[in-house]
Structures are given as structure tokens and as C-alpha cells.
Amino acid sequence: MQVLDVVHGFDVTDPGAWADVGPVELACLNAGVTSADESVADYRRVVGVNVDGVVLGVRRLAEVMEPGSAIVATASLAGLWPWPGDPVYTLTKHAVVGFVRAAAPGLAERGIRLNAVCPGFVDTPMVRPHEQELREAGFEIMPPSRVAEAVLAAARSEEVGQAWVVQPGRDPLQFRFPNVPGPR
């Protein structure tokens, strides 16, 4: 099993870092950061990790994975609904959902399933600085195992390009995107 972690030095934003990544049966593209300030450097860091990491990861994995394998990208509920607390993070998670939905059919033709999970607030280092504030506002903080359950559900699904919502007290479920009205 390969474990590539931003915390331990794997740079998801570097195309060269992906070159040595080999095939796996299930890839979880889970790197994510929130905005720290409103600088251009911070904006580029958030977009790089949250969007480039998924795009570069999917592209590399598409080259090496076998039919029957799966890729699951972690988006967020902020990828389905606006989170005014961090508009740049919200932008990137909307991008992840859109990329997964658009890239999945092409990968499916090669037998690789691509889906996304969209969790609410999860007990991770990213959320911990805001934990008390979130709890006081009535948000339940989920254990990471809830997201892991959703990743497995998304990976095992025969459908592709789906966004699986992960909420406290509910089984993971596919988000139902509304249809766009057609021409008149």
C-alpha cells in the first residue's frame, strides 16, 4: 500500500512528484487545506493543493491503474453549497466536484471508476482550530471513519461521477444534481 501524505512531504501540486506513483486498486485523493489569509500566495496554495492535487493525481493514476480500480476524491459539502466562511476553499471544492463529474465518463470507458465524497466537518487538523466555534454553532464534528465509510461506498459503486454526501447520523448518499433546463 502506498501512502502519500502532504504532511510527510508529498507535494500534490508538483507533477514530478506524481511520476513515481504506481497502480493501486483504490486511490483516495484526500489532500486539502483552507485559506489562512487573503494573500495571493495563500490563494495559490489552496488552489494548488485542493484542485491541482486532484487533477494531477487523477491524470497520473489514469495512466497506471487497471480496469476495475477506483479513485475517490475528497471534495466537501462546500463543493455543493456555498460556505461564506472561506470562499476560496468553496471555489476549490466546487472545482473538485465539477472535475470528477466531467472526467469520470472518460475513465469509465477504461474501467476506472471516479467519484467524490463531500463530507461536512470532520475531526482533522484542518478543523481543530475552529472546533469549539463550530460546536457552539451547532455543528457536529464527525470522526474520520465516517468519511472512510463513504469512500468505500463511492469506490464500490458502479456509478461514476457521483458526489457522495457525508453527514453525521446518516448513511453516505449520492447527491442528486438538478437537471439544467433545456433550450426553449
Active site residues: 89
Q: Among all chains, which residue has been given the C-alpha cell 463530507?
A: 119
CA 25 to chain centre: 18
What b/e string do you get for 28-48 counting C-beta neighbours within 10 Å, with b at 16 or more? bbbbbbbbeeeeeeeeebbbb
Cβ count within 10 A of residue 150: 25
Beta carbons within 8 Å of 87's beta carbon, 6+ residues apart: none
Residues 117 and 72 sit within 8 Å (Cβ to Cβ): yes
